[in-house]
Amino acid sequence: MELHSFKNIENSLECGEVLGKIYDVYFDNTSWFVRYVVVDLESGLSKRKVLISPVFIERFSWDPEVVPVRLKAAQIRNAPDWDVEKPISRLYEKEYFEHFHYNPYLDAQSGAPQSVRSDESELGESSNLRSAIEVRNYIIHSTDVNSMRFGHLDDFIFDIETWKIRYLVIHPSNVLNSTKQSLISTKWAGFIDWVRQEINIDLPVSEIRSAPPYDATLPPNHAYANKLHAHYKRELDWNETPVRRIRTSL
């Protein structure tokens, strides 16, 4: 288990040469798994945004200078264009993975590749993806004390092994009488109102006030996670399968 902050990877992305800056990430709003890293690509005088799947990203350290990827520069430059003003469709995802010669739909037990879904009725549908930049600054409410507002979402902590968002970093409001940031597990997040930009947390404010403080300058480790979950009397259970990192070739 190795945890990272999204803010710490808003940096250069390296692929033999530095191609651009990591701008955003897209995650599945039901499972909290990161599906894509968004890169601001600079090529001569033109600029465009491209998506990089975590399966192509190498491991990296806390607060890295660059994030390495297992792709050739030409593969990234020639990736399918997408409309940043519209949700990512299943059709685009199909074209994206075909471009990189990779099938993401693998059997969970055997690992054998399955055919990419190509039902015409599904290809136009939008996938359940949300932008981290969009969701950052959402208001956080507690389910007790008449749904008290106690802060806003400031950052995300994800596990580099699985690329699952494990924790939300909460910046406190005055109601907590504290300046310390708190980590809240995504498993404790209740209803998310995407229209009103609010996240409800299934924890009492009194417990959040007394939670172990989070130091944003250091990566959270397993000892801290155990301490945090013990404080809230919640089980620490991370059993997802690690991301199968691959190298592609043209």
The enclosing domain of 150 has a CATH number of 3.90.50.10
Residue 247 lies in a domain: no
Of the candidates 130, 153, 187, which is a domain's last residue?
130
Whether residues 169 and 110 fall in one domain: no
Whether 13 and 123 map to the same domain: the answer is yes
Domain annotation covers residue 241: no
94 and 166 housed in the same domain:
no
* Whether 98 contacts 74, CB under 8 Å: no
Q: Are 189 and 201 in contact (CB under 8 A)?
A: yes
Mean pLDDT of 231-235: 91
pLDDT at 156 over 90: yes
Q: What pLDDT score does 12 carry?
A: 75
pLDDT tens track for 102-122: 876 543 333 333 334 444 444
pTM (two decimals): 0.82
Number of domains in the chain: 2
Apex 85 CA angle, 19 and 54, nearest 5: 45
pLDDT of residue 217: 85
Which structural domain, as residue segments, surrounds residue 203? 135-231
**Based on the domain organization, do 104 and 9 belong to the same domain?**
yes
Final residue belonging to a domain, choices 82, 112, 130: 130
Q: Is residue 245 part of a domain?
A: no
Please give the Cα distance from 57 to 11 (Å, whole number).
14
Could you tell me the CA-to-CA distances from 211 to 6, 16, 241 in Å, in that order?
22, 43, 29
Each as own residue / partner, the long-range contacts of residues 218-224 (CB below 8 Å, 24 or more positions apart, any chain) are 218/62, 219/2, 219/3, 219/4, 219/5, 219/62, 220/3, 220/157, 220/167, 220/183, 221/3, 222/1
Size of the chain in residues: 250
H or E stretch covering 129: strand 129-131
> Could you report how far apart the first and last alpha carbons of the chain are, in Å?
32
Q: Is position 244 within any domain? A: no
Q: What is the pLDDT of residue 155?
A: 94
Q: What is the pLDDT of residue 124?
A: 46
Q: In terms of domains, do 122 and 15 share one? A: yes
Q: Give yes or no: residues 28 and 75 share one domain.
A: yes
Of 134, 214, 139, 145, which Cα lies nearest the Cα of 178? 214
Whether 30 and 125 map to the same domain: the answer is: yes
Q: Among residues 130, 161, 180, which one ends one of the domains?
A: 130
Condensed to tens digits (0 to 9), the pLDDT of residues 176-192 reads 566 688 899 999 998 89
Q: Which of 52-56, 238-242, 243-247 has the lowest mean pLDDT?
A: 243-247
User: Does 174 reside within a domain?
Assistant: yes
Let me know whether 202 and 142 are in one domain.
yes
Per-residue pLDDT tens over the stretch 4-17: 889 888 877 776 66
pLDDT value, residue 73: 81
Model confidence over 59-92: pLDDT tens digits?
Answer: 777 767 778 888 888 888 888 888 888 888 888 8
Is 179 domain-assigned? yes
Contact 175, 189 (CB under 8 A): no
CA dist 125 → 89, 105, 121, 188, 224 (Å): 6, 17, 8, 29, 40
Beta strands 66-68; 12-14: pairing state? parallel
In this structure, what CATH number is given to the domain that contains residue 20? 2.30.30.240
109 and 142 fall within a common domain: no
